[in-house]
Amino acid sequence: MNAERIATLHVDGQEYKLPVLKPAIGPDAIDIRKLYKMANLFTFDPGFTSTAACDSTITFIDGEAGELLYRGYPVDELAEHSHFLEVCYLLLYGELPNQSQLDDFEHRVTMHTMVHDQMTYFFRGFRRDAHPMAIITGVMGAMSAFYHDSTDIADPEQREIASIRMIAKLPTIVAMAFKYSIGQPFVFPKNNLNYAANFLHMCFKVPTEKFTAAKAVSRALDRIFILHADHEQNASTSTVRLAGSSGANPFACIAAGIACLWGPAHGGANEACLLMLREIGSVDRIAEFIRRAKDPSDPFRLMGFGHRVYKNFDPRAKIMKQSADEILHELGDSDNSTLQVARELERIALEDEYFQERCLYPNVDFYSGIILDAVGFPTDMFTPIFALSRTVGWISQWKEMIADPDVKIGRPRQMYVGKRNRHYQPVKAR
Ligand code: CMC
pLDDT of res. 185: 96
Q: Which atom of ligand 1 is nearest to the CA of 358?
A: 21
Q: By the 8 A CB rule, do 321 and 365 touch?
A: no
The closest alpha carbon to 265, from 231, 233, 301, 291, belongs to 301
pLDDT of res. 351: 95
Q: To test ligand 1's pocket by mutation, which of 227, 305, 346 has the most ligand atoms within 8 angstroms of CB? A: 305
Listed ranges 51-55, 150-154, 310-314, 403-407; the one with the highest mean pLDDT: 51-55
Sheet architecture: strand order including 67-70: 59-62, 67-70, 73-74
CA of 393 to the centre of ligand 1 (A): 23
pLDDT of res. 2: 65
Cα dist from 103 to 90, 109, 170, 219, 260, whole Å: 14, 10, 20, 19, 33
Above 80 in pLDDT, residue 1?
no
User: Taking residues 140-159, what's their average pLDDT?
Assistant: 92
Q: Which atom of ligand 1 is nearest to the CA of 366?
A: 44
pLDDT of res. 311: 86
pLDDT of res. 42: 96
pLDDT of res. 4: 76
User: Taking residues 184-204, what's their average pLDDT?
Assistant: 97
Q: To test ligand 1's pocket by mutation, which of 240, 277, 301, 363 has the most ligand atoms within 8 angstroms of CB? A: 301
Q: Which residues contact 77 (CB under 8 A, 6 or more apart)?
A: none
Q: Mean pLDDT for the chain? A: 94
Verify whether ligand 1 is closer than 6 Å to residue 267 (CB atom).
yes
Model confidence pLDDT, tens digit, residues 58-73: 999 999 999 999 999 9
Q: Which residues contact 40 (CB under 8 A, 6 or more apart)?
A: none
CA–CA dist 149, 267 (Å, integer): 31
Known catalytic residues? 307, 365
Verify whether ligand 1 is closer than 6 Å to residue 268 (CB atom).
no
CA of 349 to the centre of ligand 1 (A): 14
CA–CA dist 328, 173 (Å, integer): 28
Rg (CA), the chain: 23
Verify whether ligand 1 is closer than 6 Å to residue 144 (CB atom).
no
Verify whether ligand 1 is closer than 6 Å to residue 363 (CB atom).
yes
CA–CA dist 123, 137 (Å, integer): 12
Above 90 in pLDDT, residue 406?
no
CA of 263 to the centre of ligand 1 (A): 13
How sure is the predictor about 3, in pLDDT bands with cuts at 50, 70 and 90? Answer: low
Q: By the 8 A CB rule, do 381 and 372 touch?
A: yes
Model confidence pLDDT, tens digit, residues 362-377: 998 899 999 999 999 9
Q: Whole-structure pTM over 0.85, yes or no? A: yes
Residue of the CA atom closest to atom 49 of ligand 1: 266
Verify whether ligand 1 is closer than 6 Å to residue 224 (CB atom).
no
CA of 306 to the centre of ligand 1 (A): 5
Sign of the torsion angle spanned by Cα atoms 240, 244, 250, 252 = negative
CA–CA dist 212, 200 (Å, integer): 9
pLDDT of res. 335: 82
Q: By the 8 A CB rule, do 334 and 327 touch?
A: no
CA of 145 to the centre of ligand 1 (A): 38
